[in-house]
Structure 1
C-alpha cells in the first residue's frame, strides 16, 4: 500500500516536530520513513498510518533523528568547504593572482611599520562591524522565512552563518598574540613578516569568498547541490 499525499505531508510535519528544520534533511527522512512504513504494512496491513509511523520512528533509537541530522551536517560541511576552496584557488590563478600578490606585498610592507599590528586589528575590527550589519539582515530574513514557513535548505543556512566568522576568528587570534607575546610585528625578522603576510592574505581572501562571492552565487550553488531547489522555491 502506497502513502497518500496527505500522509507524506504528515511525515514532513512529524520530522519538523522532532527538531528537523531543514527541508533537504526532512526530505531524506520522509523518504526513509515512507519506504519503511510501506514495508511494515506488507507484514502488518492492519496497522494504522500513525502506528506504522511511530513503529518506524522507534527504529532510530532514543535520540530520534539527531544522529541523522549530525551526519547530514558533517556531509554538508565538507561540501561547503570544498566550495570555499574552489573559489579560494581562483585567487592563485591569473588574472586574480596579480591582485593576490599586490595584497600580499601591501600587507608585508605594512607589517614593517611601527605598531602595524594595531592597524591590522583596526582593519579586522572594522570588517567585523561592517559584517555584523549583514549578519543582522540575514537573521532578520531567516526569521521572516520561518514565520512565512518557507523551506530552508541546510547549505542555504550555512552560507548565511559563515559570513563574518573568518574575520572574527582572525581578530581574536591576532588580539591574543599581541597581548600574550608583547612583540611588535615591525621588530620581527623578515621571514616571520613574510609568513604573517601570507596567512593574513589567506584570511582576507577567505573573508571575501565567504562574505561576498559565495552569497552572491548562493542561488547557483544551491541549484547545483539540490536538483529540487528551484522547483521548491517556485512553489
Structure 2
C-alpha cells in the first residue's frame, strides 16, 4: 500500500524531531521507513501509524540515527576532500598550470616592487583574513534564508576552519621570521609558494562545493538549496 503525502510528511517530521536536520539524510531514512510501513499496511490497514513509526525507530537502537548521521558525515567529508585534492592537482597540469604559473609570477613581481618584504607578507595575511570574513558573511546571509540543510553541502564550517588555520599558519611564519630572513629571496619564495598553494586549495574546495550544490539542485529541483 503506497503511503500518502501526509503520511510521508508525518515520517519526515518525526525524523526531523529526532535531530536529523539534513534533508538528504532524512530522505533516505524516510524511504526506509516508508518501505517497511507499506509492507505493514498491506497486512493490516488499521495499524497505529504513529506507533509503528516509533517501533521502527526502536530497531535503529538508542543512538541509531546519530550513528547513521555520523557515518554519512564521514563519508561525505571524505568524498569532499578527495574531490578537492583531485581538483587541486589540476592546477599543476595543462592548461591550468599556466594560470598557476602566471598567478605566482604576478605575486613575485609585486613582491619585488615592495622593498619591505615583511610588509608584503603582512598584506597577504590581511588579504587572507578579508577572504575569511567575506566567506563568513556570505555563509551567514545564506543561512538566514529559509531553506533545507543538506549534508552534502555542509562544508562551509570546514572551509572556514581550513582557511583560518592556513592564514594563522602563514601569519605565524611571518611573525617568527627575522629581518635577515626577509632579505633572503629563497625564504621569501618558499613562503610565497605556501600562500599560493593554500589559496589554490581553497579555490579547489570552493569549486567542489559549487559542483555539489549543482548536483543537489538537480536531485531536488523543488527544494530551495
**Pairwise same-fold verdict (TM > 0.5):** yes
Q: Specify which of 191, 197, 204 is matched with residue 209 of structure 1.
A: 204
Structure 1 equivalent of residue 123 of structure 2: 122
Contact 2:8/2:30 (8 A) holds in 1: yes
What residue ranges of structure 2 are gaps of 5+ in the alignment? none
* Distance in 2 separating the partners of 1:129 and 1:29: 40
Change (3 A) 1:104 1:63: same
Contact 1:114/1:186 (8 A) holds in 2: no
Structure 2 equivalent of residue 230 of structure 1: 221
* Distance in 1 separating the partners of 2:193 and 2:137: 31
TM-score (norm: length of structure 1): 0.75
What residue ranges of structure 1 are gaps of 5+ in the alignment? none
Contact 2:80/2:208 (8 A) holds in 1: no
* Distance in 2 separating the partners of 1:78 and 1:135: 23
Secondary structure at 2:126 match in 1 = helix
Secondary structure at 1:230 match in 2 = coil
Structure 2 equivalent of residue 154 of structure 1: 151
Within-5 A mapping of 1:85-100: 85-100=85-100
User: How many angstroms does 1:144 deviate by?
Assistant: 1.8
* Distance in 2 separating the partners of 1:59 and 1:233: 32
* Distance in 1 separating the partners of 2:135 and 2:70: 27
User: How many angstroms does 1:69 deviate by?
Assistant: 1.1
TM-score (norm: length of structure 2): 0.78
Structure 2 equivalent of residue 198 of structure 1: 193
Cα RMSD of the aligned pairs, angstroms, is 3.3
Deviating 4+ runs (over 6 angstroms): 42-45
Change (3 A) 1:86 1:226: farther
Structure 2 equivalent of residue 175 of structure 1: 171
User: How many angstroms does 1:210 deviate by?
Assistant: 3.5
* Distance in 2 separating the partners of 1:128 and 1:210: 17
Change (3 A) 1:58 1:196: same
